[in-house]
Amino acid sequence: MSAVRVAPSLLAADLTRLAEEVRSAEAAGADMLHLDVMDGVWVPNLTFGPGLCAALARITQLPLDVHLMVANPDALVQPFVAAGAKSIAVHVEAVPHLHRTLVRIRELGASPGVALNPLTSLASLEEVWPFVDFLLLMTVNPGFGGQALIPETLGKLARLHALRQARRPEVLLAVDGGVTVTNAPSLVASGADILVAGTAFFGASDRKAVVAAFKGGRA
């Protein structure tokens, strides 16, 4: 099994001190930075655009992982890849032609992924396995940081892991929403490869210890 990867979510960072927050994530041992991109339409919040992604790319070597929670993901794929995004996840419900979108992300040089809301059926993945590098399971309803993990998503993650093992074991499984030091071992035991953490990371006084605890979730 591969080592657990930790992706601090900048939604919970102090944006008035963003460069310092990025340096802190690097020093703590983070593997990537997660950008929750919301448009105030598909989800009830408004966050980051390609400009911020480009600014981050100038100050860090950490891969930038972009999660598009927007009404028109296709319009933002190229701008975010041009801004330095290394991976982009889109939601099944938000993309009319999912194959086209995933192929386009790869053609542009980024890793394509599909994001699943808590009640999005795993059956929606039936045809996507050949076209993705990772899957992002939302363990809260998207739109706001600081929510508690929905307990039922643990079972869903385990089922997704079993599907992954049967279809394409190399596809990475990421989880996002309410990830904490307390529930990380259960998430990892259920198959998570990437832990996206906002409040649990940026709200901690010892962020290096948080990363170490997350990575200790897998033997």
Using CA atoms, how far residue 192 sits from 40, 105, 146, 158, 176, in Å, is 29, 23, 20, 9, 10
Confirm whether 65 is a catalytic residue. no
Confirm whether 206 is a catalytic residue. no
3-state helix, strand, coil in the chain (%, to 5): 40, 20, 40
* Distance of alpha carbon 74 from alpha carbon 76, whole angstroms: 5
Which residues face 126 on adjacent strands? none
Find the catalytic residue in 65, 133, 176, 193: 176
Inter-residue contact 110 to 85 (CB < 8 Å): yes
The token pair at 163 is: 């599907």
The token pair at 57 is: 């790319």
* Distance of alpha carbon 50 from alpha carbon 152, whole angstroms: 34
Instruction: Tell me phi and psi for residue 46, to 5 degrees.
Output: -135, 125
Find the catalytic residue in 36, 65, 133, 193: 36
* Residue with tokens 């993990």, as numbered in its chain: 149
Catalytic residue numbers? 36, 176
